Amino acid sequence: MEFVSAGVDEMQETVPVPPTLKELHAQKSNIAFLPIQYSEGLTRYHRVLSHAFVMSVLEEYGDLEIIGEVFVQNNLERTEFRELKILIEEEKFRRYDQPLVDGVIRLGKTLGVSYIGLMSVQTSPVRVSSNDWSTYITFRIMRVEDPPDSSYMNHEFTFIFSESNSLWEDLGTQIRGKFPLSGFILESRGGRSYARISLGRRNRVEMEQQCKIFRRIRKESQDSQKNTLQVTDYDLLGKMQIFNIQEDFSWGRVETEARKKILKGDAVRCY
């Protein structure tokens, strides 16, 4: 899709990578998970519910959109990610050595996601009653952008089915506010002193909230096999602070140092 109405600012300049209509209408940041690693001895029932529990908490408390598994798997099958696929199959997320980290971040940039997750589900040593069950879940979430962070969030816990409600709230408390809102600059006024962004009340933006402004750029990168990849990177331009909130957009004051840099279509992250 093309970025129809917000690709040009007051100075008639365009951003290198304007947002699509789909991105403009998106209300959440997105996250992709690499294939979940399961230990032997787990039934399909235990696997499905353990996986669904973590995903649902991330969606509800992290306000994240989970990217489909098929899309991730199809990209992982590409020739340029053969080494990463082998590392995953061999290590099963037992270690996070640099080759694995580099490959995961590169895949995340190719997918165009904000975050990428690695999760394993194992049998649990915790004893429970005969009509209950438990698994041991570990996951690591890496930030793909602004700037990459290979250990943005790490968590491990014993998932006891009968305690799902309390575990839901406990994990949700740790996730809430961890993932910033993602939007774009729609227009600027007053010599770019003020900018209108595509985040509003429906996105839970708050008054005086601080936001960072980034320029998205597409560039070529090479893997260890000299294969050329197209990836998205982010350059930090400056900050802004929200002062007016409407249903589907907000206005913010742009810091002085950033006013000569920002353009319509630049990415915004509100924390």
Domain ranges (residues) in the chain: 21-27+180-270, 34-175
Question: How many angstroms separate the CA atoms of 245 and 21, rounded?
Answer: 21
| pLDDT attached to residue 73 | 94
User: 263 with 10: CB under 8 angstroms?
Assistant: no
**34-175 is a CATH 3.30.360 domain:** no
Classified by CATH at the fold level, domain 21-27+180-270 comes out as Thrombin, subunit H (2.40.10)
222: confidence class by pLDDT, cuts 50, 70, 90: low
Question: How many angstroms separate the CA atoms of 38 and 123, rounded?
Answer: 9
CA distances from 247 to 20, 47, 54, 259, 265 (A): 20, 39, 30, 25, 20
User: 242 with 270: CB under 8 angstroms?
Assistant: yes
Identify the weakest region by mean pLDDT among 4-18, 27-41, 104-118, 156-170: 4-18
Do 21-27+180-270 and 34-175 show the same overall fold? no
- Would you state the structure tokens that stand for residue 79, as one six-digit string? 């020739």
Hey, which residues does 214 pair with through a beta bridge?
236, 267
| pLDDT attached to residue 122 | 95
Residue range 86-90: mean pLDDT, rounded: 89
pLDDT digits (tens, 9 = 90+) for 106-159: 999 999 899 999 999 999 989 899 999 999 999 999 999 767 899 999 999 999
Question: How many angstroms separate the CA atoms of 58 and 63, rounded?
Answer: 7
Among the listed residues 185, 229, 198, 235, the one whose alpha carbon sits nearest the alpha carbon of residue 14 = 185
Question: How many angstroms separate the CA atoms of 170 and 137, rounded?
Answer: 14
Residue range 196-204: mean pLDDT, rounded: 91
* Residue 95 confidence (pLDDT) above 70: yes
Q: Which residues contact 86 (CB under 8 A, 6 or more apart)?
A: none
Question: How many angstroms separate the CA atoms of 141 and 87, rounded?
Answer: 17
Q: Which helix (H) or strand (E) holds 56?
A: helix 44-61
Question: How many angstroms separate the CA atoms of 25 and 202, rounded?
Answer: 12
| pLDDT attached to residue 223 | 58
5: confidence class by pLDDT, cuts 50, 70, 90: very low
Q: What is the DSSP letter of 187?
A: E
| pLDDT attached to residue 12 | 62
Residue range 74-81: mean pLDDT, rounded: 92
Identify the weakest region by mean pLDDT among 92-101, 183-192, 229-238: 229-238
Average pLDDT along the chain: 89
Q: Which helix (H) or strand (E) holds 89?
A: helix 82-91
